[in-house]
A = this chain, B = another copy of it.
């Protein structure tokens, strides 16, 4: 299960196809793309914070969804649209202030569905802030 795009190619694709995600500046960056795994860094801006300075739940859901998309995109290439069909997330503990790191693994990349495991933690923290699983419908005619 080898990536077919580079980090730079994925970031260029996201900027072109989903300009909205960068309306607050470069809050989402792809850190790495390895076989079966993508890592994304999230730098919260004001709108993503809750009282006390912790990242909001919806911001973590958006991060999980985007990082899951990235790991699929990086492995199937920019040929067609994958669409989220299900996302399940457990919020485990408030992250410390600072960047969040989302690590997404392909548990399955099938002909019709991709299923991703996504762990979110504060940078440098051992314990997870949230854990999500996401299912994407992937176009059968790719490749």
Query: A131-B133, A137-B112 given as contacts; is B51 within 8 A of A57 (CB)?
Result: no
Asked if A15 lies at the interface with its beta carbon under 8 angstroms from chain B, I say: no
Query: A58-B65, A112-B137 given as contacts; is B84 within 8 A of A86 (CB)?
Result: no
Q: Interface 1/0s, chain A 51-78, versus B by CB < 8 A?
A: 1000011100110011000000000000
B62 near A135 (CB under 8 angstroms)? Answer: no
Asked if A142 lies at the interface with its beta carbon under 8 angstroms from chain B, I say: no
Query: A50-B18, A135-B90 given as contacts; is B65 within 8 A of A84 (CB)?
Result: no
B91 near A86 (CB under 8 angstroms)? Answer: yes
A112 near B115 (CB under 8 angstroms)? Answer: no
